[in-house]
Amino acid sequence: SAVISQKPSRDICQRGTSLTIQCQVDSQVTMMFWYRQQPGQSLTLIATANQGSEATYESGFVIDKFPISRPNLTFSTLTVSNMSPEDSSIYLCSVVGRGANIRGQYFGPGTRLTVT
Amino acid sequence: QQQVKQSPQSLIVQKGGISIINCAYENTAFDYFPWYQQFPGKGPALLIAIRPDVSEKKEGRFTISFNKSAKQFSLHIMDSQPGDSATYFCAASMSETSYDKVIFGPGTSLSVIP
């Protein structure tokens, strides 16, 4: 399986500020996704991070609020912009691998965000 | 039609017992059904997965049963242990090697008591 790291692991931010979350994978992967998981809830897909092009956003999520970059096959960032307390959540990076040795979708450890 | 339903919401099982979690889906285009295990403060970890061309898959104490005609699948944890206490998510995707997003069920919180 792929080893996925996220930075920061947690943060407390003030309303109106922005936070950029980084996701690094130890091997090249085909797809990278960003999910949100509110406490005690299931995972909701925010967007698919496309290498070298604009991310594909799910209904209810927009680029101005959650800009995403993916400059190469192993790295992506998610920015949570103009934060409000409603953005307090766990943000998870996920990848789909390449080749038979990395099958299925794997998740990073998550970034726990609290907005005050 | 994109939903995955999951029950029960929470489950308490005695150590050594069998934990059973059930899921159902509507979209017949789903072709890959993974289960994820999540411990508090951690990201979900892929536990076991099945494709609809098989009716059962077993890995250690974990077994997936799949009923394609009923569009239902379930996870059985045999000889449940306190270390199995976690939240379990069933999921569905168009393909194992997708190129496509995974749709998650709402989750089941499992507590295995000694």
Predicted confidence pLDDT, tens digits, chain A (116 residues): 678 999 999 999 999 999 999 999 998 887 899 999 998 899 999 999 988 889 999 999 999 999 999 999 899 999 999 999 999 999 999 988 655 445 678 899 999 999 99
Collapse the DSSP code of A25 into the 3-class scheme (helix H, G, I; strand E, B; otherwise coil) and give the result: strand
C-alpha distance from A100 to closest chain B C-alpha (Å): 9
C-alpha distance from A48 to closest chain B C-alpha (Å): 8
Selected residue of A43, A44, A111, A114 to mutate for chain B interface (largest B Cβ count, 10 A): A43
Give domain limits for chain A. 4-115
Residue B113 pLDDT grade (very low, low, confident, very high; cuts 50, 70, 90): very high
CATH architecture of A4-115: Sandwich (2.60)
Find the range with the poorest average confidence among A22-36, B30-44, B91-105: B91-105
Ranges A93-107, B46-60, B66-80, most confident = B66-80
CATH of the domain at B55: 2.60.40.10
Specify the number of domains making up chain B: 1
Find the range with the poorest average confidence among A27-31, B32-36, B44-48: A27-31
Which structural domain range is residue B50 located in?
4-113
Contacts of A109 in chain B (CB under 8 A): 42-43
**Do β-strands B108-113 and B86-93 pair in parallel, antiparallel, or remain unpaired?**
antiparallel
Selected residue of A42, A51, A57, A91 to mutate for chain B interface (largest B Cβ count, 10 A): A42
* pLDDT in the model for residue B95: 67
Q: Is B89 on the interface with A (CB under 8 A)?
A: yes
Find the range with the poorest average confidence among A45-59, B26-40, B88-102: B88-102
H or E element in which residue A75 lies: strand A75-80
Tell me: pLDDT of B1 over 90: no
With vertex at residue A24, the alpha carbon angle to CA A23 and CA A28, rounded to the nearest 5 degrees, is 125
Cα B24 to Cα B71: distance, rounded to the nearest angstrom: 6
CA quadruple A30, B33, B10, A44: dihedral, nearest 10 = 40
Tell me: pLDDT of B23 over 70: yes
